[in-house]
Structure 1
């Protein structure tokens, strides 16, 4: 005995599919916005606590460094 998919099934399936897609899109947007705000806050917080970097003194190119002592 086989079963057939009724029109009521397809109506409910369509409604549930559309709801699932809408919820996925909304939750993705919400979590993306929260993650962006969190990372921006962490970057801003971290930049205030560090001191600016000083460049390393460079060796003049015309000065040779001896290989053997």
Structure 2
């Protein structure tokens, strides 16, 4: 190999190495995004029944008043 061929081969090798490193290098901020969990989180059911602010007339509207025998 002549001197010029060796220089061209070495230059091509350097270019390929640099391009490969830049392609394979992690991008800035890539690790900041969390992967979704493999197992979904448990669903939380609301507690309390939801009747705190409901008036008694609404809660007991379906029941007949005491002594009303129909």
TM-score (norm 2): 0.42
Q: TM-score, normalised on structure 1? A: 0.43
Higher-Rg structure is 2
**Bigger share in helix:** 1
